[in-house]
Every structure is written in C-alpha cells, then in structure tokens.
Amino acid sequence: MIQPEPRAVVERRIERAREERRVTEIVGGLADTSDDPTRRPGLDDYQARAAEATPPDASPEVRAQVTRMAQIERARADRAWQAARGRAATDALDWLGEDPAAPLMAMSMELREGLSPEQSDALDRTAMNGGRVVTDRDFYDRLDDQAVRDPESFVGVDLTQYRLSLGNSDYDRLTKLQKTFA
C-alpha cells in the first residue's frame, strides 16, 4: 500500500504531466500559422487562438502557461515572418539587379507574392529609379532614432526585410551599427 504522503506526491506528478500534455496540445496548434506577407503575426491573434483552444475546465496554472507559450510562439512566428520578408526583398532586389530595365510584370508571381504591401511599393519605386534603391528618409530616421534610444530593440530588427527601402550606404551603415551593438 502506498503511504498517504508519497501517494499525494505521485498524484501531483500525474496531474502535472496531464497539465503539461494539455498545454502541449493547446500550444501545438498555434505553430500551424500561414505565412501571410500582408500581415505580421500579432500577439492578440495568438492569445485569442490559445484561449479558444483552452478547455473551460483548465486550471489557472494551465491557462498561465498557455498564455506564456502563446507569447513565445508569436515571437518565433514574428522572427520567421521578418526573415521571410527579408528573403523576399533580397530576392526581388537581386532579380531587379539582373536587368533593371525588365518590366516588373516579368517577375515571377511567387517572388512578388512573398513581398509585403510596403515592400511591393518600395520595389515599384526602385524599378522606377532604374533598379537603384533610394532610401526612405522618414523610415531611415525612425531606425536611426531607434538605434540611439533603444539599441537592444534595434539589434533585434531584421534589416533585410527593409532592404528595398534603404539605399546601399544607409543599409550598410545600419547593419554595421547593429553589429557594433550586438
């Protein structure tokens, strides 16, 4: 026969294992998010989906852990979203660099669909400028200000996603600044 104290310990371990499995099941579905270039992953969306998937009888501990895991998953999705936009911007710029006179309609649909609306606008401006990226001064100033006021946050920005909005010298300056702060 199991002693009362050890039995309580065993039951608590079993309950924790159930809670962990429940959290894993709930949070596991959050990773199945489409890569929509027009919409950056939002924390509210992740928390709403997690709340929707959380059973009403879930303990406060499970709910707290699901909320924390939703935040982590959203951060992971945001990094992936930024990286995908960076690859799309770089690929589009490379394509345009091969033949700056080529009409943008000749660009593959797959390549264009990977761009966010802002990147598509920047690509159009670059094409109108003969394939040369012209820095969006307002945007550059915001990034420069972020580097001064919040270097830690600035280091986390994936600058490649903004490649179509930053001319070569400005892009190089900001990437060097990131390396200095890192």
Instruction: Check whether 182 has a pLDDT greater than 80.
Output: yes
Residue 90: its pLDDT value, please?
Answer: 95
Selection from 13-27, 38-52, 133-147 with the highest mean pLDDT: 133-147
Residue 32: its pLDDT value, please?
Answer: 64
Domain boundaries, the chain: 4-101
Instruction: Check whether 141 has a pLDDT greater than 60.
Output: yes
Instruction: Check whether 164 has a pLDDT greater than 60.
Output: yes
Instruction: Check whether 61 has a pLDDT greater than 60.
Output: yes
Residue 28: its pLDDT value, please?
Answer: 73
Q: What is the pTM of this model?
A: 0.75
- Mean pLDDT, the chain, rounded, equals 87
Confidence of residue 158 (pLDDT cuts 50, 70, 90): very high
C-alpha count within 13 angstroms, C-beta hemisphere, residue 109 = 0
Confidence of residue 47 (pLDDT cuts 50, 70, 90): confident
